[in-house]
Structures are given as structure tokens and as C-alpha cells.
Copies of this chain bind each other. A is one copy, B any other.
Amino acid sequence: MGIREDAQRVMDAALRAAQPAEAVRRALRQLEFPAGGRVVAVAVGKAAFAMAAAALEELGERIGRGIVITKYGHAPGELPRFVIREAGHPSPDGNTFSATGEAMRMVEGLGPEDTVLTLISGGGSALFESPLVTPEELQDITRQLLRAGADIRETNAVRKRLSRVKGGRFALHCQPARVASVLLSDVIGDPPDVIASGPTVQDRTTCRDALAVAKKYGLALSAQAAECLRTETPRSLPPGPVLVTGSVRELCRAAEKEAGRLGYRAQVLTDSLVCQAREAGSVLASVARYHQGSEESLAFILGGETVVVVRGKGRGGRNQELALSAAEGIAGCRDTAVFSLGSDGTDGPTDAAGGYADGDTAAKLAAAGISVHGALQDNDAYPALQAVGGLLMTGPTGTNVNDLSVLLIRRHP
């Protein structure tokens, strides 16, 4: 088997592990539900349907009832004992508010032996909302924050206080039932209280933060809204497990495991890579060069998300640029490959998930009359990689947990 096939296997295993269904099942296996107690599932976010389906598969009849609140067009069918609701995203609408109300009523009247299982994914901030101000004012304040250039922390400090469910308030509302949360993480390094504005997680912002933001940006607020900002979110929540799953960390670990299975000594270097794509490619190539002739097969795994500084008018994406840049640095290295892909199957505005390069890629590019330097300068990695069979095509993968970049070096036989 060639190194290209090894790369394919590592990639497939990582993408499988990052599937919401698989990630949810893995998390649920770590939870315990008191025997005899009821389980009510509340799934919100763009992956709510898949998360609820996976929970049903894992827990079956243990889930007595549930609700899915997801984006329009994101609920492909029905689920037993679940209410399915679709609503507006990225702006909440009337259906958001009514569905959130349904969820709130569904968890009322439970006892301490019962569990509310919240399944939360990206988009949850918009899709799970019951505002303490009028929908019009909520929208207006959101716009004011946006226009003023408030960052995510500032926006959250304000938004959480205008909501009945954000900032841990939904967890409080579930009492006396126990709350267990499974968070599908698709944001690099995001703390649980930021994902979907943390409906079941202790808020780390304060009234003081919120009021400072209002002052800093001169927000126009109704008396009611101003009062909301002065009202604190729950300072201590009843304890309940919070599991972050399907994260880029798990993507990396799955790649590490599969590479190990294929005989590589595998090592995750980071799961929070943030740098320029082509620089990351240079760094990986320099690591590759050092380890040429190693007596073991080696795999170096990096997760995160690189950026591209767009200067040219070509086609490409950050992962393709990373691979193309590495191609130059590993030119002539035997049994050495670098690949990089977006876990959602999309890399930049292209239909490729990412790029693959090995020690022969530079020679193939030269033979095709393509200059690596020129292609990088023009941000034109797509046609370059396409010409040498270096595009990774996966189609939509059903997940989105940042990028995976891998360097493989096979021991020479």
C-alpha cells in the first residue's frame, strides 16, 4: 500500500470520528442516567437532528420525549417521541421563540431523579431564544453591537442578559431535574459558555461587563433592556456533566489512532493551529526534511485553522495552499506526504476539501509547467493541485470541526 492510501485512511478515520452521530454516541457512553428517572432531550442547533437521532440510537426508549430545534431545511424527517421544529438562522424569528417556549414547557414538572439531556450544536445562539425584550428591540440591539464592532465576548455579555435561556438560565429553568449537556464543538478553542451562548453552562461574563459594553458603544436601550443588563445570570448552577464532543481535538486523536494502526509513530502537535496556510506548509516540510531516513515511520498531526492572505485572483483554499506550499519543501523526499483538509469537506470557495502533496508532487508540477511560487502568489492552488491529482474531494461530510493537517513519513523499506 502506498503513502497516498495511508493518507486516505487517516483522513477517513478522522472524518468518521468527527461525525456528529459518532461524536454524540461517544459522549453519551460517558454519561449515566439514574434508573427509573425520565430523560427529556432538547436538541438545538444546525446539527440538532443528527444529534437527536444518535441519542435515540444510543439510549433508545430511555428517552421519553424530546424536541429538535434546527434551521429551516435541516430536519430531514421525523424521530420517534420527538417534536421537530425548524426556525430562522442566523436571525431568530417567530418560530424560534415558539419552539423555545415548547422546549421550556417540556422540561417543567420534572423531578430530581429526571434528566434533561441538552444536545447543542453551532447556530444554537439564534435557534434557541426567548427574549426578555421585544423581538424588535433584540434585533435592534444586536445590530447596534454589530455595527459598533463589538467582539464575541462583548456581544455575549449583553445578549445573555436579554434572554430567558442563555447564560445558564435554561439549566436553572430545568430544576429540580438534573441537566446533562453534550456540546458539539465546531469553534476552535471555544469555551462551553460561548457555544450557543451557553444555555446550560455557568456564564463567565457579568452585569458589569454588559453595562461597560453598553457604555462603551453608547447603546440605545429601552428602560426594560437597561434593567435586563443589571440583572445577573445564575452565579452558581446545580452540577451536571458538560461534555464537549466532536471537537477538532477528537478529529486529531482519531487521525493519531489510525496512523498508529498503520504502523506510524503518531503524534498530535497541536489542535489549535492558527497561522498563515503557506507558512504552516513550510513548517511541516521542514519537519519532514529533518526526519528523512528515520528508522520508524512517523506521523505528525495538527488541527486548527490556518488563514490565507489573499493577494491573487486564483482559485484555492487554505488547505490547498498549505499542501502546495509543503510540496515545494518536501520535493524529492521519498515516502513523505502532507495533506490538509477542512473537516466539513469544503476548503475556501472550491468544491475540494483540501490538498495532498508528496515528494513527487513538485516534479509533477514542474513537468506540467506549473510554478509553485506563482500558484501561491496568485492564490491559485486549486488548478495546480488538480493538474497533479492533488485535490482531496470528499463532498459534504456532515461535520465541521476545523481543519486537519497531517505529515506522514514512511520508513524506507
Residues of B within 8 A of A273 (CB): 283, 286
Nearest residue, chain B, Cβ from A290: B270
**Which stretch in A13-21, A106-114, A274-282 binds the other chain?**
A274-282
CA distance A273 to B272 in the complex (A): 20
> Which of A268, A272, A276, A286 gathers most chain B CB within 10 Å?
A286
What count of chain A residues pass the 8 Å CB interface test?
Answer: 21
Nearest residue, chain B, Cβ from A302: B286
In contact, A270 and B282 (Cβ under 8 angstroms): no
Q: Identify the closest chain B residue to A279 (Cβ).
A: B279
What are the residues of chain B within 8 A of A275 when measuring CB–CB?
A: 279, 282-283, 286
- Give min CB distance, A278 to chain B, whole Å: 8
Q: Is A317 an interface residue (CB 8 A)?
A: no
Q: Which residue of B lies closest to A281 (CB)?
A: B275
> Across the interface, do B282 and A269 meet the contact criterion of CB distance under 8 Å?
no
Q: A270, A275, A282, A302: which has the most chain B beta carbons within 10 Å?
A: A275
- Name A174-216 residues within 8 Å CB distance of B: 189
Q: How far is the CA of A135 from the CA of B291 in the complex (A)?
A: 44
A276 contacts across to B, CB distance below 8 A: 276, 279
Question: Cβ of A282: which chain B residues have Cβ within 8 Å of it?
Answer: 274-275
What's the least CB distance linking A247 to chain B, in Å?
A: 12
Query: What are some 29 contacts across the A-B interface (CB < 8 A)?
Result: A189-B289, A268-B290, A269-B269, A269-B286, A269-B290, A270-B283, A270-B286, A270-B287, A270-B289, A271-B290, A272-B286, A272-B289, A273-B283, A273-B286, A274-B282, A274-B286, A274-B329, A275-B279, A275-B282, A275-B283, A275-B286, A276-B276, A276-B279, A279-B279, A279-B280, A279-B283, A280-B283, A283-B283, A286-B304
